[in-house]
Every structure is written in structure tokens, then in C-alpha cells.
A and B are shown apart, each in its own frame.
Chain A
């Protein structure tokens, strides 16, 4: 009987027992660790997939190509299975972003909330040409209504620093050009006479007055050319231009509008 009863002290003092105890503890801990680590992996996978969906949804691309994109990403995610769980998430994000829409990601920047003292508009929101032209037309019409042809040519000439070079859209000049075209058109009676297009070079001062009217390219018909010159003289003065300028006017006998 007594041989079966072993006091606890003596057991703890026994080397064999201590070794067994350590082994048992290690075994338990390892089992416990295995149990804890397993669910953590599941969670990683789950969180990874919504991230991918968000990134893919942000860019506005044809809906069709989207769905396939996440799939390969999901497959790749589990691949980098190295030990620490956090690192694998980053590479997954990178791989999803790279494929197609790098620029859309930059867009979210125009933070509407960010309204700190910002005298400078970070990026001038592209003013539509129509809005500008409408404003200009209003201005010009107001000027005409008041019949005050602004006797300050130099100021006007300096106001809009507008490069009107080839290939550059200049809304102020475009509005003025449209007005000039309409004015000359209303005076030109060569459409039923001309077979070809006479071209005129003319200088316009800041008050709209014409000078140096020159036929730069004849239509081949003297009478037709004369209708053009008469139209220019009848149109003098033109609406004041944004600045003193030289014009080339092409008088097309056919109405292309």
C-alpha cells in the first residue's frame, strides 16, 4: 500500500518526475500555441480580401475587368506564408495597386475638409471655356451698353497677359474674334458674288479702329475683293479688342455654319 503512496514533496524532488513535468508542460504549451495561431491565420485571410475589394472599387474602370483582378490577388496572398502574420499584408496591397489605376489613387487628395488658411488654390480648378466666354461677353456687352469704349488702351492692353500663339486656346481673344466675325459678316455682301475667298490683313488698335487694310490674297475677282474691303470699312471700328492686334480675315463665300 505504502509503495503506491508517494508524498508530493518527494515527487517534486524526484528528477524523473520533474523531467516528465517539463515535457508535459512543453507539450501543453505547444498544443495551446497551435490552437491560438490557427485562428489568427484565418483572420488574416479574411481581412486581406476586403482591402483588395476597396482598392479595386475606387478606380472608375469598366466594371468587367475588375472582378478578375482580385482573384489572382487572393491566390497570391496566401503564398507569402512566412512566419510573422503582419508582413504578408503589405505585399498583398502593393500587388493589387500596381496593376491598373495608379492615378485614381492620387485623386482623393483634393480634401474638401482641409480648409486651412489656403490663399493659394493648390490646383486651379479648370475654368470651363464657356463660363469664361460668357463672362467676357457680359463684360463687353456691358461696356457697349454704357457706350464707354474705355479710353485707356494701355491698361486694357496689359490686362490679360494672353499668349495667343498657335495651338493655345485664348478664351478672351476667342470671344472677341467671334464678335468680329459676326460684325464683318453682317456687312459683307460678297457671298453671292465671290467664287473664292479673299483674305485681308489689317491692324486693329485697342479702340477697335482699323488701319492698313491690305488684300493679302485675292479671290481672283476684283469685284469680290472690293466687297471684302467695303465690309471691313463698314465694320470700322470693330469692338475693342483685348489689346492692339493684327488680323488676317478670310471671307468665305460659303456659309459653313
Chain B
């Protein structure tokens, strides 16, 4: 009976093509990690100027930094390597598609006095659709890499929906081979390292304001542990809180001027919040044990922190509106340095394994944990990139502690510091503009 009915089916399909056409078949495609191929033409401008090549190099590097977009080699181009007619209403999409490019970037770059001006277009060559037509952006000539990275991050956003982070910065602590520890700053790719503090003391735990213009950090330069503010473009040294209690760490809230601080008052260490001028202190935790390492959820409504109230340091989460506190980690004797991802989906933390630490990711409800960095040596201090796709951390895998970054899928570990000292406490900046 079954065979008969199937034959009848087949007969219908043969005799009636429209029936066959109407048939719908499902195909599942399982993805693999693969960047989007985008062709980048050198921008139009003064061909003799090395600026064009420098800009192209930085732009391509900024795209590759994302791990999500890769540039198609100009050797494969059928079309010119440099933008010829920027004002043209369209581009020969088929010629770009034919070399495997799903996108095209073209633009022009002008140098006026000491300023660079750039404008560019981003095309989806598969649909032959303009994704972006961006007017002039301007920067000082000296900031060429930053300008190129800003353009690259914007292009990444147009293809992936989330802005790239090549133009962001990472603050960190380095002893530079000496006994003191200073706050340093570098580009997200490890370029342009410069020292921010120079007080010869111990300076620790930098944390960025949401606008990326101010850092709060801990310093022992006055003898006691105090919190200081460091404004971009000014000399450091403004003390945040004037009380005589010891303050160990300040962490800026993501959406307002509130700063979570760890304060030791009458021998009891708890977490408080203060406003950005150091006033209006408010106690968040109240326990005889030690509470420290606060990390805000991206909406500022919850906070992860470390407490030894159960006998060993573990990660907890506090709901700031209800006051409810919930223990998050249960495995391991020592879990510390929680860092809530900007997307809200993970909390990264350092978990002790033997004498060393590994970095793990756990969902904020504690339902799922997965390892992120499990090098045989110690990996600590996780800090999220603002897009939530990368994590910076310190590791002593090469002997001295250095700063690395890794993609959140566990791939592309890259060393960012140069081994000139022990480097710890990375703090990834928000987007600069």
C-alpha cells in the first residue's frame, strides 16, 4: 500500500512540474567561525603622500583586529586598487563579488595643514547596496592610526552590528622592571604605550569612566591606600574621597557617575558607592567578612563581588534594588576578580587551580560555566572589551606578568605588552567617541 502511494506521488510530480516546484526542502547549515571578506581600496588623495599607505595599513589592521572582518588581498582585485571615482553613484558589484568580497570600502583622505580629513563609503557587494556614506572625520596628523582605527571600527559595525574596538585603549599597571608600580596606557593593539602616573609609589586598579575620559585608581603615594582621579589631558592626583578610611579600589558604574569603592572601616571591609566627586557614600554590603572586587552589570542594577563569608573567596551577585545576594561560584577554593561583560551574558573570573589561576566565564545566573583561559601558568585580572567580544588579562606564562587579549570564543590570544616589566590589572576603555 505504501509503495503504491509513493509511486502515485512520484507520478504526480513527474506529470505536474508545478507540484514539484511547490515542494519545499529544508537544509541546515552549521556555521564555522569565519570573518567577512571585505575589499578595501586605498583611499584617493595625494598619491605621493605616504599618508595614504599608512592610513591603508592602519585601516586594514583595525579591521583584522576585530577577528570578524578580513580584507581581501589587493592582488586579487579586478577593479583598481585605489578609489578612482568616489562620487560615482554605484560600483561594479559583480567584479567585487567575483573575487569573494562581500563588501567594499572606498574613500578619500586629505591632509590640510596638520589635520587629516577622511570620508568613505561602505558597500554590501552581494546586494549592491550602500551600507554607509560617511562624511568628513578629522584628526591631527599625529593621530593617523587612531583615525584609521575609528574608520575600521565603524566598518566593523556596519557588517556585524557591533562596533569594533581597535580604536579603544587599555590602561594597566606596570612596574617597568622596578619596585614601584605605575599606571600605563596603550592602544588596544598594544601600540603607543605611555606612562600616566609617575609618583614612584604603588599605583593599582585603574578603572574607566563611561566616557573614557577619566580613570580612577588606587595609590599608596600618600602612605595609605587612597583613590585618585586621573583626567585625560591633565596631571593626575585628585583624591576622590577625603575620609581617613582605607580605600582599596574604585570601579565606575557603566551608566552614571557612581563609583563603587572598597572601603575598610573599623577593620571591616565592605563595598560602598560614592558619587564621582567622592560624596554621598552608601553602603552596599554589610557583613563581617571581607567584600571586595565589585563589578557592575551593564545596566547598573546588579553587582558581582568577592566575599569570603562562606569560608573561602567566592563570587556573589547582589541585586541593588532588592538587596538580595546570591552566591555564584561553588567549585574551587578561591574565585576572584569578577568582570561583568558589557553585553551582560557573562561574568569572567579568575579561579584558582593548584598554585595558579585560570580564567572562566559564568552566566550571571550561575547556570553555566566554561573555561576561557587555561594556560598551565597563571592567568588573572580579566577585563572586557567594550563590545564584549574580547577579554584582556594578565599572565605569567612567559615568566613575567604581561597583558594579553583573547577572543571570547577562546581563540586569537595575542600578547600586548613587551616584557619590559610585570604588567597587571588591565582595564579596557569604553569607546572614545
State the A residues within 8 Å of B (CB). Answer: 154, 157-158, 161-165, 168, 173, 177, 180-181, 184-185, 188-194, 201, 203, 221-224, 226-227, 229-231, 233-234, 243-257
Given contact pairs A163-B13, A223-B159, A247-B24, A254 touches B30 in the complex (Cβ within 8 A): yes
The reply to whether B27 and A233 form a contact with Cβ atoms under 8 Å apart is: no
Given contact pairs A161-B11, A168-B6, A244 touches B17 in the complex (Cβ within 8 A): yes
**With an 8 A cutoff between CB atoms, is B257 at the interface?**
no
- Determine the distance from Cα of A185 to Cα of B33 in the docked complex, in whole angstroms: 10
The reply to whether A233 and B127 form a contact with Cβ atoms under 8 Å apart is: yes
The reply to whether B10 and A163 form a contact with Cβ atoms under 8 Å apart is: yes
The reply to whether A163 and B9 form a contact with Cβ atoms under 8 Å apart is: yes
The reply to whether B127 and A224 form a contact with Cβ atoms under 8 Å apart is: no
Residues of A within 8 A of B35 (CB): 189, 192
Given contact pairs A168-B6, A227-B36, A252 touches B31 in the complex (Cβ within 8 A): yes
Which residue of chain A has its CB nearest to the CB of B67?
A: A192
The reply to whether B23 and A164 form a contact with Cβ atoms under 8 Å apart is: yes
The reply to whether B25 and A245 form a contact with Cβ atoms under 8 Å apart is: yes
The reply to whether B161 and A181 form a contact with Cβ atoms under 8 Å apart is: no
CB distance from B39 to the nearest CB of A (A): 13
Within 8 A of A (CB), among B1-49: 6, 9-11, 13-14, 17, 20-37
Residues of B within 8 A of A224 (CB): 161
Residues of A within 8 A of B10 (CB): 161-163
Contact with A along B186-217 (1 / 0, CB 8 A): 00000000000000000000000000000000
**With an 8 A cutoff between CB atoms, is B126 at the interface?**
yes
Which residue of A244, A247, A255, A257 is within 8 Å of B26 (Cβ)? Answer: A247
Residues of A within 8 A of B100 (CB): 234
Query: What are 29 A-to-B residue pairs whose CB atoms are below 8 Å?
Result: A158-B17, A161-B14, A162-B10, A163-B13, A164-B25, A184-B27, A184-B29, A189-B68, A189-B102, A192-B33, A192-B35, A192-B409, A193-B161, A194-B31, A223-B160, A230-B126, A233-B97, A234-B102, A243-B17, A245-B20, A245-B23, A245-B24, A245-B25, A246-B22, A247-B24, A249-B29, A250-B27, A252-B28, A253-B31
**With an 8 A cutoff between CB atoms, is B124 at the interface?**
yes
Which residue of chain B has its CB nearest to the CB of A154?
A: B17
CB distance from B102 to the nearest CB of A (A): 5
CB distance from A163 to the nearest CB of B (A): 4
Residues of A within 8 A of B67 (CB): 192
Tell me the interface secondary structure of chain B in the complex.
mixed
- Determine the distance from Cα of A89 to Cα of B36 in the docked complex, in whole angstroms: 81
- Determine the distance from Cα of A256 to Cα of B28 in the docked complex, in whole angstroms: 10
**Of A221, A230, A257, which is in contact with the most chain B CB atoms at under 10 Å from its CB?**
A230
The reply to whether B25 and A191 form a contact with Cβ atoms under 8 Å apart is: no
The reply to whether B160 and A250 form a contact with Cβ atoms under 8 Å apart is: no
Residues of B within 8 A of A184 (CB): 27, 29
- Determine the distance from Cα of A248 to Cα of B25 in the docked complex, in whole angstroms: 6
CB distance from A237 to the nearest CB of B (A): 12
Residues of A within 8 A of B23 (CB): 164-165, 245-246
- Determine the distance from Cα of A249 to Cα of B28 in the docked complex, in whole angstroms: 6
- Determine the distance from Cα of A161 to Cα of B12 in the docked complex, in whole angstroms: 9
Residues of B within 8 A of A181 (CB): 27-30
- Determine the distance from Cα of A19 to Cα of B409 in the docked complex, in whole angstroms: 117
Residues of B within 8 A of A243 (CB): 13, 17, 20
- Determine the distance from Cα of A42 to Cα of B115 in the docked complex, in whole angstroms: 120
- Determine the distance from Cα of A157 to Cα of B10 in the docked complex, in whole angstroms: 12
The reply to whether A230 and B127 form a contact with Cβ atoms under 8 Å apart is: yes
- Determine the distance from Cα of A256 to Cα of B30 in the docked complex, in whole angstroms: 6
Residues of A within 8 A of B162 (CB): 223
- Determine the distance from Cα of A177 to Cα of B26 in the docked complex, in whole angstroms: 8
Residues of A within 8 A of B159 (CB): 223, 226
Given contact pairs A168-B6, A244-B17, A230 touches B27 in the complex (Cβ within 8 A): no
Residues of A within 8 A of B161 (CB): 193, 221-224
- Determine the distance from Cα of A154 to Cα of B162 in the docked complex, in whole angstroms: 46
**Of B17, B28, B127, which is in contact with the most chain A CB atoms at under 10 Å from its CB?**
B28
CB distance from B275 to the nearest CB of A (A): 36
Beyond known contacts A162-B13, A249-B27: 14 more, CB 8 A cutoff: A158-B17, A161-B11, A161-B13, A180-B27, A184-B27, A188-B31, A189-B34, A189-B68, A191-B34, A193-B161, A201-B24, A246-B25, A249-B28, A251-B29
- Determine the distance from Cα of A254 to Cα of B10 in the docked complex, in whole angstroms: 36
Residues of B within 8 A of A256 (CB): 30
- Determine the distance from Cα of A249 to Cα of B35 in the docked complex, in whole angstroms: 20
The reply to whether B13 and A185 form a contact with Cβ atoms under 8 Å apart is: no
Which residue of chain A has its CB nearest to the CB of B70?
A: A189
Residues of B within 8 A of A222 (CB): 161
CB distance from B235 to the nearest CB of A (A): 42
Given contact pairs A158-B14, A243-B20, A246-B22, A226 touches B27 in the complex (Cβ within 8 A): no
Residues of B within 8 A of A253 (CB): 31
The reply to whether B29 and A188 form a contact with Cβ atoms under 8 Å apart is: yes
Given contact pairs A165-B9, A189-B102, A234 touches B26 in the complex (Cβ within 8 A): no
Which residue of chain A has its CB nearest to the CB of B411?
A: A192
CB distance from B244 to the nearest CB of A (A): 49
- Determine the distance from Cα of A163 to Cα of B36 in the docked complex, in whole angstroms: 38
CB distance from B167 to the nearest CB of A (A): 19
Which residue of B21, B28, B126 is within 8 Å of A244 (Cβ)? Answer: B21
- Determine the distance from Cα of A201 to Cα of B26 in the docked complex, in whole angstroms: 9
Residues of A within 8 A of B22 (CB): 246
CB distance from B74 to the nearest CB of A (A): 20
Residues of B within 8 A of A249 (CB): 26-29
Residues of B within 8 A of A157 (CB): 17, 20
- Determine the distance from Cα of A173 to Cα of B20 in the docked complex, in whole angstroms: 12
- Determine the distance from Cα of A214 to Cα of B370 in the docked complex, in whole angstroms: 36
Given contact pairs A165-B9, A185-B31, A252-B30, A247 touches B25 in the complex (Cβ within 8 A): yes
